[in-house]
Amino acid sequence: MIKGLKKIHRIYTVFVIVFFFLLLYPFYYIFSRKPEGYKTLNKLRKFNSLLCSFFTGIFFRLTYEEKLNSEQTYIYCANHSSNLDIMIFCVLASGKFHFMGKEELLSNPMFRVFFSTIDIPVNRENNRSAFRAFKRAGEDLEKGMSLVIFPEGKIDEEHYPPKLLPFKNGPFRLAIEKKTPLVPVTMCNVWKKMWDDGAKYGSSPGICDIYIHKAIPTENFGAKDTELLKMKVFEMINSKMHI
């Protein structure tokens, strides 16, 4: 009975997401054409996410260890267990920000408008693609544009509940190189509301808890400290998993 209801809720959730995306698509298209429109584009993404949250009954409870500076440029690093994670960051992040995600999103009918403009596609198995992606991310950080990245590189599709996969080095090397504060974020129980795309277990209304850790300054880190920073962030995120 419960499993069936979760499947129905997932179908309804997909309908809601697609409906509001199509409704806002003309505005997404207009404001994605030039970097000058990116701030407005992100406001639309936030508005869209809040609409979807309201109509699906999946709400986001954000707990901050320390208040973030809305004028500061950050690199946000989070665990990745659900398609809801994108919506959550559209609500959580402020100002100018963009995502780095897998190259396959360029062929996704919903994400293509973003990953061909504001967001950064990357093929992590291709060194040249990864180099280009992080080079652009570094240039954007210098322009005051925050970066949202999932250092696991993918959703854990083998374990339920999901486990935290090993992190890639790229985000931490970039944070050190650009002296950009790094914000670890734990998606504590988001997978309980929708794991991955919800196809296997469905979805359900309720509250998703997100813990935003205190920002880590990187001015005193050197290139040799990449592994140290990576492990520090891994432990911080993992400490709040499944609470």
Describe the crossing of helices 2-31 and 38-56 by its angle, rounded to 10 degrees: 160
How far are the Cα atoms of 13, 122, 148, 225 from residue 188, in angstroms, in the given order?
21, 26, 17, 27
Let me know the angle formed at the C-alpha of 235 by 231 and 236, rounded to the nearest 5 degrees: 115
**Could you tell me the residue ranges of all domains in the chain?**
2-239
- Tell me which architecture the domain covering 2-239 has in CATH: 3-Layer(aba) Sandwich (3.40)
Query: What is residue 91's predicted lDDT score, i.e. its pLDDT?
Result: 97
pLDDT band at 94 (very low <50, low <70, confident <90, very high): confident
Bridge partners of 184, per DSSP, are 77
| The token pair that represents 38 in the structure block | 């990116």
Say what percent of the chain tops pLDDT 90: 88
Separation CA 235–CA 196 (nearest Å): 22
Query: What is residue 243's predicted lDDT score, i.e. its pLDDT?
Result: 65
- Check whether 191 has a pLDDT greater than 70: yes
Separation CA 145–CA 24 (nearest Å): 23
pLDDT band at 95 (very low <50, low <70, confident <90, very high): confident
- b or e along 6-15 (b: 16 or more beta carbons within 10 Å of the residue's beta carbon)? bbebbeebbe
Place of tokens 């199509």: 22
Separation CA 183–CA 62 (nearest Å): 14
Bridge partners of 122, per DSSP, are 102
What digits encode the pLDDT tens for the residues 151-172?
Answer: 999 898 888 889 999 999 999 9
Among 31-40, 81-90, 112-121, 123-132, the range scoring the smallest mean pLDDT is 123-132
